[in-house]
Structure 1
Amino acid sequence: MDLDLRKLRYFVAVADKLHFGRAADELHIAQPVLSRQIRALEKDLGTPLLTRDSHGVLLTDAGRQLLTDAGPLLASAQAARRRVTVAARGSRRITVGFRAGIAVAPAIQRFATEHPDVPVDVQRIEGDDQAPMLLDGRIDIGYVRLPIDEAGLRVAPLYTEPRVAVLPVGHRWAGKKEVTEADLVGEPLIWHADTSTQPTRHPHPNAGYLARGVDETLEHVAAGRGISFLPRSATVFYSHPDVIYVPVPDLAPDQVCLAVPVSRVSPVVDDFFTAAQAAAEITAECGNYEMWQRGGDAAAMHG
């Protein structure tokens, strides 16, 4: 029995809400219709996916597994729809996603020597967008920073980048040329909800403010709500009058990678992947990312 994607979308809505009424409202269908579709999906798969009792809706083990698998399946279907639409227009255009502080131009220029007829669009992405935008086809290839959910993706390391501490100008360590992890132990951290992704050996207390992107991070730090850690390229691409960058040599470096969906079969995208790897190697050989080194030399400056 083939898996019905419409039923799968209905299931994901219920699994996310754990409430049939709210899921039906989100899907703009009647609740009895939604219930029938979920029962039909369970019949197709030969197993219960949800249980309902006095405490509400719960996922069975099979339901939890299907929810895990459903995201990449639905994203892949959406990506296929996008690619068919693009192909119907006769376009070979590709879109490259990139995280803040990553230079894409060298790869675009190298790629253009072999494919001058293929336009390359660029789109800034944030950490929580990396995998979803690749899987659903909004971008064809991405310059990503770890961590990333690699399910359904081919991820290749590109280079590592030192990190710096982001401190408010009045911080006790703001005037130092560099600091150690030990100097910053116990400082509230502006970071992701998942503290396991912190780059330090010693966890920091969560400052309680989640920043989406470098700009938001700088504003939180400037307001004295905590400190943060960013790749050294931030010292070149971003400045703020109330924030200062200080190198932390013993901090785990940031890992930049290239990522494409496993399901993406495109010689043009493969050629860009190769061009990006070659451009990174040449840049490293010519001075270990000299542009970012200049930023590192000025890391104690602000504004």
Structure 2
Amino acid sequence: MTGSDAPPSDLASDSPSGAPSFRLAYVPGVTPSKWVRVWHERLPDVSLGLLPVTPAEAFGALRDGTADAGLVRLPVDGDDLSAIPLYTETTVVVVPKDHAFTAAEELTADDLAGELVLHPLDDTLGWERPPGLAANERPATTADAIELVAAGVGVLAVPQSVARLHHRKDLTYRTLVDVAQSRVGLAWPAADEAPDLVEEFIGIVRGRTVNSTRGRRAEALKGQKQPKERKGGGRKQTDPARSGKPGGGSRTAGRPAARKGGGTGGSGKGRTGGKPRRKS
């Protein structure tokens, strides 16, 4: 693992003795930060520990209980693990910055026909043999293959996130179309029903809202008492005329009624211009 694979210090947490906790493994190139932040917002009382693992270690960590769930590259390698797909990554080819391939925006498998294409033992694309010419020996790791590319020995096809993870100033990459792609998924030990905390994380990665999430938080919300509504719907209405507030019936507090004779408070009807008539 490189330093960039380590989880941010504010995302990893240890659980106090006896407190509930959730352990999440993840493979290189996968960034769980956004989901971890949502977890902390929804389940602040349950610590979430992050465990960076290699693709070869990921499924073993789930089987031996080191992790409760894992962000892995599919497919899983046995019926004893359950998994859901999350997304498919773009495949790219990593080359030196002065390589002829940099003149193109996209490449195909046919473009690699005359190139030495490295095939590390921890390959994440799952192909038996990559396109292009095969090297006499396979590099032990993707990191070793990156070093060989930088030295001018061949090129390397990997998921785009892995190319970014191993970024170097002297290397670049181009999209590789019509070839194998890596699928990322969430995996956990198979059971009739996923454990509550696994179900919570499934809801988070699938974008469920708090109210729609099945599991511990959803059950807690269901158990909360909701405020009772008054009969008749909504709040009880009051008569503004009785309450003394403006806007009531024909008479309201603080507003005198009009006089019949069109006096000083009247509207003007019944009034005559000039002097009043004399009685005969």
For Structure 1 versus Structure 2, the TM-score category normalised by the shorter chain is 0.5 to 0.7
Matched, 1:119 2:47: yes
2:65 corresponds to 1:137:
yes
Q: Which moved more, 1:156-165 or 1:106-115?
A: 106-115
Report the alpha carbon displacement of residue 90 of structure 1 after superposing the two structures with TM.
1.0
Q: Is the 8 A contact 1:169 1:222 kept in 2?
A: no
Equivalent residue, structure 2, for 1:242: 170
TM-score norm. by structure 2 comes to: 0.59
Q: Which structure 2 segments of 5+ residues have no match?
A: 1-13, 209-280
How far is the alpha carbon of 1:193 from its aligned partner? 4.3
Give 1:227 deviation, angstroms. 1.8
Aligned counterparts, 1:58-137, within 5 A: 89-137=17-65
**Counterpart secondary structure, 1:150:** coil
- RMSD between aligned alpha carbons? 3.1
Aligned residue number for residue 254 of structure 1 = 182
SS in 1 for 2:72: strand
Change (3 A) 1:109 1:194: closer
Q: 1:255 to 1:274 in 2, by over 3 A?
A: same
* 1:277-288 superposed matches below 5 A: 277-278=206-207
Residue matched to 1:226: 154
1:143 Cα shift? Answer: 0.8
Q: Distance in 2 between matches of 1:103 and 1:208?
A: 31
SS in 2 for 1:139: coil
CA change 1:89–1:181 in 2 (3 A) is same
Give distance in 2, aligned partners of 1:201 and 1:219.
19
Distance 1:227 1:201 in 2: 11
CA distance in 1 between counterparts of 2:183 and 2:111 reads 23
Q: What corresponds to 1:273 in structure 2?
A: 202
Structure 1 residue 182: deviation in Å? Answer: 0.4
2:104 pairs with 1:173: no
**Alpha-carbon separation, structure 1, partners of 2:190 and 2:74:** 18
Alpha-carbon deviation of 1:240?
0.9
Aligned to 1:155: 83
- Describe how 1:207-226 pairs up with structure 2 within 5 A: 207-213=136-142, 215-226=143-154
Distance in 2 separating the partners of 1:104 and 1:202: 31
Aligned-partner SS, 1:278: coil
SS of residue matched to 1:197: coil
**Which protein has the bigger helix share?**
1
Task: For 1:206 and 1:147, locate their aligned partners in 2 and report how far apart those are by CA, in whole Å.
Answer: 26
CA contact (8 A) 1:190 1:207 kept: no
Q: Is the 8 A contact 1:200 1:251 kept in 2?
A: no
Alpha-carbon offset, residue 175 of structure 1: 3.2
Query: CA separation of 1:187/1:146 partners in 2, compared to 1, >3 Å: closer, same or farther?
Result: farther
Deviation at 1:269, TM superposition (A): 2.1
Deviation at 1:200, TM superposition (A): 7.5
Does the CA-based 8 Å contact 1:160-1:256 persist in structure 2? yes
Q: Which aligned segments of 4 or more residues in structure 1 are displaced greater than 4 angstroms?
A: 192-196, 199-204
Take 2:74 and 2:171, find their aligned partners in 1: how far apart are those partners? 25
The structural deviation recorded for 1:87 is 10
Distance in structure 2 (CA, Å) of the matches to 1:104 and 1:225: 33
Displacement, 1:236? 4.0
Structure 1 unmatched ranges of 5 or more: 1-85, 280-303
Higher mean C-alpha displacement, 110-119 vs 198-207: 198-207
Q: Quick one: distance in 2 between partners of 1:192 and 1:248? A: 18
